[in-house]
Structure 1
Amino acid sequence: MILAIDIGNTNIVIGCIDDPEKYSSGCVFVERLSTVRTKTELEYAIDIKNVLDIYHIKKTELEGGIISSVVPQITTIVKLAVEKILKKEVLVVGAGIKTGLNIRIDNPAQLGSDLVVDSVAGIAEYPVPLLIFDMGTANTVCVIDKNKNYIGGMIYPGVGVSLDSLTAHASQLGGISLEAPEHIIGKNTVDCMKSGTIYSAAAAIDGLIDRLTDELGGKATVIATGGLAKKIIPHCRRKIILDDNLLLKGLAVIYRKNRRER
């Protein structure tokens, strides 16, 4: 069993990955912690150990760990925290780690580790070409061509960021929860905000799929993942596969590839 951790700007996703024959997705569990840049190595170790204890996972059951991070300030802190628990070296996706992904962009070194991992998982599990939407603090799109090459993508503000900006700059609009209203045409301010936020995000994804598949020159498998995907994807009109555990599964693929080659 592998401990896989994805450090995002808002949440840290933690999961244990085991034999897919035992668990439908290979994921024994998936949980989220808040990303706190001021926490110490010990504080993160306690948080992670508590999650493992809740699911009755013993450190002797874990053969190792792997981390993907877009928050450089705490990557090493979390790595040391995990190593404190496992008493084993933990891999971090980045320089020196073999992913098997053929990256065809201007500067491959600029590609975020989360996008690399999403793409590795997508190629391993789904037919190409692929469009992978990862919906978090930022929304990202990975584009994989029919030859399994990463050829580029998109980055744009996430739903939460857009909503925060709206409420911060419009004095009469307060914060709302992200649940779809009963009707798309809102009858009050809160429902209007919910409808506008959710359906505009869904329509944007539908429109992007149309434009991206036009540029690819044909149909593509479309996958969505990330903390906010469940809120938006059900309201899209295009066929989209929702895979909450995509990134963790990608970390497992990369872990096994590097362990085999060492």
Structure 2
Amino acid sequence: MLLALDARNGGLTLGFKRSGAWLPLARLGSERTADEYAFLFEAALQRAGGGQGATVQSAWLSSVVPALSPRLIEGVRLAFGLETQQLAPGVKTGVKIRTDQPSELGSDLVCQAVAAYALVQGACIVADFGAALTFIALNGAGELLGAAIAPGLDTAALALRGSAAQLPQVRLDLPERAIGKNSAAAVRSGIVLGYRGLADAIISGMREELAEDAALIGSGDELGRRLLDGLGCRHFVPDLALEGLALIAQRNGYAPGA
């Protein structure tokens, strides 16, 4: 069984993959000790249906939160007695990175690129809705050409409320109209519809620069799925990075049948 961990600023997503299929995923916060993570990893395995005697043979970590990584690695060691393999420069991914500074690219984006190209086998753009809204572009040869990064929708909403005392806290959802009739509706319209325009502009620009028929692949939360519905999204995979991390594990010796 494979344990895959995707650590980001918005929290940790972990999954156990057995015989090619994911057990139910778990999502955890980032303010835990290594001992707490060890306990939660074991609990997550049992809750996912791993059963008594279930064995984790390999653990892989993609992390864009350097301060969190040592606690996760130690938590895996305490829970399962394994040394965690971390995605870093030098690990075989199967994707060539054609940016100015490849080492600057977040490991989550690399994982998404691996999964996206495996899914469509051609040029593609990935839009991921999380604490950050990210876009990556791959050409038909599977080369990752670059990215665009903006604050995520919830991040933008929190920043707006922190800078405008009279605005209420708003649950973001796709509004029915652009003209908001109250403060909450106005914020919802401005952020959500504004971000749909942002996504449309970046995706259109990337398609033009790729000069190829690029498939649009979405990832992240349900609101992201709804925003991409009208932009020609071909596939939406909520945890695309975990899929890519599992593929990277296979390319580095993990046997998927385990």
TM-score of the aligned structures, taking structure 1 as reference length: 0.90
Counterparts of 2:82 and 2:14, CA distance in 1: 17
The alignment status of 1:205 with 2:199, answered yes or no, reads yes
The alignment status of 1:31 with 2:23, answered yes or no, reads no
Per-residue deviation at 1:218?
A: 3.2
What is residue 93 of structure 1 aligned with on the other side?
Answer: 87
Residue segments in structure 2 that go unaligned for 5+ positions in a row: none
The residue matched to 1:72 in structure 2 has which SS? coil
What is residue 46 of structure 2 aligned with on the other side?
Answer: 53
Per-residue deviation at 1:260?
A: 5.7
Counterparts of 1:182 and 1:143, CA distance in 2: 31
Moved more, 203-212 or 250-259: 203-212
Counterparts of 1:50 and 1:18, CA distance in 2: 17
Q: How does 1:80-159 map to 2 (within 5 A)?
A: 80-159=74-153
Counterparts of 2:85 and 2:50, CA distance in 1: 20
Per-residue deviation at 1:180?
A: 2.7
In the alignment, is the contact (CA less than 8 A) between 1:2 and 1:65 conserved in 2? yes
After the TM superposition, which parts of structure 1 deviate over 4 Å for at least 4 consecutive aligned residues? none
What is residue 18 of structure 2 aligned with on the other side?
Answer: 18
In the alignment, is the contact (CA less than 8 A) between 2:127 and 2:133 conserved in 1? yes
Aligned-residue RMSD, C-alpha = 1.8
Counterparts of 2:33 and 2:206, CA distance in 1: 42
Counterpart residue identity of residue 56, structure 1: G
Q: Percent identity?
A: 29
The residue matched to 1:73 in structure 2 has which SS? coil
TM-score of the aligned structures, taking structure 2 as reference length: 0.91
Per-residue CA shift, 1:126-145, capped at 9, x if unaligned?
23211011221111111101
Counterpart residue identity of residue 199, structure 1: L
What is residue 235 of structure 1 aligned with on the other side?
Answer: 227
Counterparts of 1:235 and 1:225, CA distance in 2: 11
The count of corresponding residues between Structure 1 and Structure 2 is 252
Per-residue deviation at 1:202?
A: 1.6
In the alignment, is the contact (CA less than 8 A) between 2:139 and 2:145 conserved in 1? yes
What is residue 247 of structure 1 aligned with on the other side?
Answer: 241
Counterparts of 2:210 and 2:145, CA distance in 1: 10
Counterpart residue identity of residue 158, structure 2: D
The residue matched to 2:226 in structure 1 has which SS? helix
Per-residue deviation at 1:198?
A: 1.4
Per-residue CA shift, 1:126-185, capped at 9, x if unaligned?
232110112211111111011111111111111112111111111210211122344333
